[in-house]
Amino acid sequence: MKRILITGALGQIGSELTMKLRERYGTDNVIATDIKRNGSEAAQSGPFEIVDVTDLNRMGEVAEKYKVDTVMHLAALLSATAEAKPVQAWNLNMGGLMNALETARELNAQFFTPSSIGAFGPSTPKESTPQDTIMRPTTMYGVNKVAGELLGDYYYHKFGVDTRGLRFPGLISHVAFPGGGTTDYAVEIYYEAIKNGSYTSCIEKGTYMDMMYMPDALNAIIDLMEADPCRLIHRNAFNVTAMSFDPEEIAREIKKHIPCFELTYNVDPIRQKIADSWPNSIDAIAAEEEWGFKFEYDLAKMTEDMIKKLTNKFTMNQSKAN
């Protein structure tokens, strides 16, 4: 990777990935794009272009302008939002993906897009879900992700595009606030714990889902993209994970730092139905064997870091407001 185009660069993954890649490959070599610009560091610290991913000509124009050799396609509607707006989700998630793949094909560029545990469904084995297994999702987001994985394989076999992808669990970050995912409760709970000392979970107790802290997710993307292609048996997409917990377990960890924290429930039936269709835990052995995947943060270490970083963030914001 030398010149990298990122779509959806101001989203949850993109806002942090853009900065990490600029540190690694040089600010001018990472071109951030999104449908609108904001005041974030990702938008202001280096090259930025307005790109609607459903506009193939615009995407190709920007990619050609910067002579990119890598396309990282992150723009998408997430699970809960996609379920509420299924037609919009199909048009954006699939249309945008096709345009990004076509752009990579035209430029002979390396390609990355994330998949998700949402690609699995109720008939998938729920414990230690294997890399290769039945995938019959019951959500629009899941259908999009399965189709996306297949499209990545198709462009690799048909056109020789160096496509790669990760099947992410829920991602937890202290930088970008979540944007419509079923696993977002695991981010919101930290914000509310610090601000209010309590949280009302939309996910029922006893509901286990795989999760990963964002620093591990970013490292996994870079490690996969830099991996020797000769070692890759699977390309789209590798199971990766770091931890699996339910709301009660994350609450117990938070109480070690905020003893008065209280957790209550007001279950969202739409998000709960989605969560129930996903695995409790997944097996990442293929990623470990084919490109050396590893993670650093478990629940305890992540919780300590999240509370520290968010407390500092809120303190700084309050100082600026005063």
Residues annotated as catalytic are 141
CB neighbour burial string for 297-314, b if at least 16 within 10 angstroms, e if fewer: bebeebbeebbeebeeee
Three-class secondary structure assignment of 233-296 = CCCCCEECCCEEECHHHHHHHHHCCCCCCEEEECCCHHHHHHHHCCCCCECCHHHHHHHCCCCC
* Token pair recorded at residue 108: 């002979």
* Token pair recorded at residue 240: 């990766």
Q: What is the torsional sign of CA 211, 126, 118, 140?
A: negative
Helix, strand, coil percentages in the chain from 3-state DSSP, rounded to 5: 50, 15, 35
Torsion of CA 99, 170, 165, 17, to 10 degrees: 70
User: What are the strands, taking DSSP E only, across 77-194?
Assistant: 110-112, 115-116, 163-164, 166-168, 170-172
For 172, 182, 212, 220, 229, the CA distances from 71, given in Å and listed in that order, are 24, 26, 23, 16, 17
CB atoms near residue 148 (< 10 Å): 26
